[in-house]
Amino acid sequence: MSLTMREEQPARCGCVVVRLAEPADYPAIRAVILAAYGEYETAIGPDAYDLYLEDLLDLELHARNGPLIVAEVEGVVRGSGAFYPDAAAQRLGWPSEWAGGRARAVHPAARRQGVAQALLEAAEGLAHEYGAPVFAFHTIDLMSGAIALYKDLGYRRAPEFDQDLRPHFGTTAGQPIQAIAFRRDLTTPGRARSHPRVTSLRPDAKDNK
């Protein structure tokens, strides 16, 4: 998910600030991912979970396909996500003209503070900038809270893209990692959203400040 943040507006108590991630943020991002996904290890099974986690933590791979973003609460990284201008690069069956999100994570201590919504709004803004007609992403069926949030925010299910992620990771071990697909059509008038503390700009755009 890509954008440039208003760095002149520091996070205040309870505020969520979204900005482009830098390599220096990678340890904090990995810590958020580990905290966010750790509760699913038992349900998935250790072998498949390790492969799933390895994919989520491969920030260098995600960054080669699109910008990474982070969400800060009181100056601390509490959420993160990868934006793919070409969703097909995820190799999960998305159409190449769509944009996609991947590896979105919110630290458990920062849930229900608007972090996930801020990340999604930033990603949608980037998708608009890249001219994508659709923004799409997967979540796993174990994440009931996230699924409820996506529905509340108006995302539409895309069951034709649902799949067990284990073959993607080269295994059939453990329980199915059932990926649930969501989409939003960006060509619908009035559907674009923007986070009040984010100025969304493509990373290759000129800085006009």
pLDDT (average), residues 8-16: 49
Mean pLDDT of 161-170: 93
Average pLDDT, the chain: 86
The answer to whether residue 76 scores a pLDDT higher than 70 is yes
CA distance 72 to 82: 15
Q: Tokens 């201590």 appear where?
A: 109
Q: Residue ranges per domain, the chain?
A: 4-198
pLDDT band at 116 (very low <50, low <70, confident <90, very high): very high
* Pairing verdict, β 99-106 and 134-140: parallel
Residue type, 161: F
pLDDT (tens digit per residue) in 29-40: 999 999 999 999
Among 61-70, 137-146, 173-182, 192-201, the range scoring the smallest mean pLDDT is: 192-201
* Crossing angle between the packed helical segments 115-129 and 144-152, to the nearest 10 degrees: 60
Is 198 a residue whose pLDDT tops 60? no
Q: Look up the CATH superfamily of 4-198.
A: Gcn5-related N-acetyltransferase (GNAT) (3.40.630.30)
Residue 5 is predicted with a pLDDT of 35
Q: Is the pLDDT of residue 101 over 60?
A: yes
